[in-house]
Homo-oligomer: A and B are copies of this chain.
Amino acid sequence: MATLADVARRSGVSVMTASRVLSGRGPASASARDAVTQAADELGYVPNAVARGLRNSRTGTVALVISDIQNSFYSAVAKAAEKGLGAHGLNLTIASSNEDAQRERDILQAIQAMRADALLITPTEHNGDHLQRLAQHGLPIVQLDRSVPGSDIRRVLLDNAGAAWRAVTHLTEHGHRRIALVGGPERITTGAERASGARNAARQAGAELLVAEAASYLHEGTRPAVEEAIDWGPTALIAGNNIVLETCMDVLLERGIDVPTALSLVAFDDLPWLRWTPAPITALRQPIAQMTTAAVSMLFTDPDSDGVERRFPAELVERASVRRITTAS
């Protein structure tokens, strides 16, 4: 593959001049300019970003570490991140931790090795120390969706408590008095905050609330909690995220429980298919694109001037999965 030296030789100038012309920084005579661009063209010269990265200690690459690339929430994040970064002329490297602490550690190490310029991460709860160390080395880091407990690493999050509060309140306003939330693990901020928001709302409304805690945000970890919640006999069920929702759908189908006649349902995360179930599903929509864009721009912003945390509200999209209950009183 052609190098800068090849271009210089062919155009009869020094490597230096060729570099200046092609990078567009520094002066160059018109004739040098012409000769170099022509030679570069003829040779199909493409600058070596690796060499450039070594020299400049800037690689032009941002790493995105997500929990599960197949989860549509995170692929929406990936899409928005790619778009936002592309606007900055940056490349995106994506890796998926699969909620696994060891794997996340390996990824973090690889990112450090490849000298990424910045890191966007939806962290597991396990590697806060590692993250902190990277931040101290000067790597700009922004957490998205979730945050490692007790660190000062910047983050862009949903107003989880507010969203859960809204879901429960929506249900109590429809007359529900026995509500189950299948949430994520409370070790994870989303799980903890959603549970606490739901508890507040239930208390305020004087309704009963069961929080069934899934072992993980992966499918396998989710079923016992869903079954526990349904066995408890609620009139309404809140699926704490889209993975939990899928498990709920399976269990409801298996047991022949009809929504909303036998059970009302509210989902965290909005997806196209929620419109196509027998009773279209009411959902809390997260502003994923905006959150991701905010996280990307936070990456390039002064940590001290811009605050450590931003929260975004969810929007309740009402469809047909919540029944109004009228109590004889």
**Which A residues fall within an 8 A CB radius of B?**
1, 44, 46-51, 53-54, 59, 61, 68-70, 72, 75-76, 78-79, 82, 91-96, 109-110, 112-115, 133, 137, 246, 249-250, 253, 271-273, 275-278
The answer to whether A276 touches B275, judged by C-beta atoms less than 8 angstroms apart, is: no
The answer to whether B47 touches A113, judged by C-beta atoms less than 8 angstroms apart, is: yes
Alpha-carbon separation in the docked complex, A95 to B81 (Å): 11
Given contacts A50-B59, A91-B114, A92-B95, 14 further A-B contacts (CB under 8 A): A48-B115, A50-B50, A61-B114, A68-B79, A69-B79, A72-B75, A79-B96, A91-B95, A92-B94, A249-B272, A249-B273, A250-B275, A271-B273, A278-B278
Alpha-carbon separation in the docked complex, A32 to B69 (Å): 43
The answer to whether B273 touches A46, judged by C-beta atoms less than 8 angstroms apart, is: no
A113/B54 contact (C-beta < 8 A), A95-B91, A276-B253 known: no
For A1, what are the chain B residues with a Cβ–Cβ distance below 8 Å?
112, 137
Alpha-carbon separation in the docked complex, A309 to B271 (Å): 36
Number of copies of this protein chain within its complex = 2
| Option from B46, B50, B72, B95 in Cβ contact (under 8 Å) with A70 | B72
The answer to whether A114 touches B50, judged by C-beta atoms less than 8 angstroms apart, is: yes
Alpha-carbon separation in the docked complex, A249 to B275 (Å): 9
For A68, what are the chain B residues with a Cβ–Cβ distance below 8 Å?
79
Q: Which 6 A-B pairs have the closest CB atoms?
A: A273-B273, A49-B113, A94-B94, A49-B114, A75-B75, A50-B53
Shortest distance from the beta carbon of A37 to any chain B beta carbon, whole Å: 16
| Option from B78, B79, B276 in Cβ contact (under 8 Å) with A249 | B276
For A246, what are the chain B residues with a Cβ–Cβ distance below 8 Å?
272-273
Shortest distance from the beta carbon of A184 to any chain B beta carbon, whole Å: 19
For A50, what are the chain B residues with a Cβ–Cβ distance below 8 Å?
50, 53-54, 59, 114-115
Shortest distance from the beta carbon of A246 to any chain B beta carbon, whole Å: 6
Q: Which of A44, A76, A93 has the most CB of B within 10 A?
A: A93
For A94, what are the chain B residues with a Cβ–Cβ distance below 8 Å?
78, 92-94
Shortest distance from the beta carbon of A117 to any chain B beta carbon, whole Å: 11
For A69, what are the chain B residues with a Cβ–Cβ distance below 8 Å?
75, 78-79, 82
The answer to whether B112 touches A46, judged by C-beta atoms less than 8 angstroms apart, is: yes
Can you list 24 A-B pairs, Cβ within 8 angstroms, ordered by A? A46-B112, A48-B54, A48-B113, A49-B110, A49-B115, A50-B54, A50-B115, A51-B54, A54-B54, A69-B78, A69-B79, A69-B82, A70-B72, A70-B76, A70-B78, A78-B94, A79-B96, A82-B96, A91-B114, A92-B93, A246-B273, A249-B273, A249-B275, A273-B277
Q: Which of A59, A96, A137, A246 has the most CB of B within 10 A?
A: A96
For A109, what are the chain B residues with a Cβ–Cβ distance below 8 Å?
46
Nearest-CB residue, chain B, relative to A106: B86
Shortest distance from the beta carbon of A127 to any chain B beta carbon, whole Å: 14
The answer to whether B95 touches A82, judged by C-beta atoms less than 8 angstroms apart, is: yes
